[in-house]
Amino acid sequence: MAAWDSIPESERSFQLRLMELYAGFVEHTDVQVGKLIAGMEEMGLRENTIILYIWGDNGSSAEGQNGSISELLAQNQIPNTIAQQMKALDELGDSRRLAAR
Which one has a higher pLDDT value, 82 or 79? 82
| Residue 59 predicted with pLDDT over 90 | no
Long-range contacts of 80-83 (CB under 8 A, 24+ apart): 82/11, 82/14, 83/10, 83/11
pLDDT tens-place string over residues 5-56: 998 898 888 888 888 888 888 899 999 999 999 999 999 999 989 988 887 6
- Of 62, 82, 87, 81, nearest in space to 72 by CA: 62
pTM for the whole structure: 0.61
Q: What is the DSSP letter of 43?
A: T
Position 30 scores a pLDDT of: 92
Confidence of residue 90 (pLDDT cuts 50, 70, 90): confident
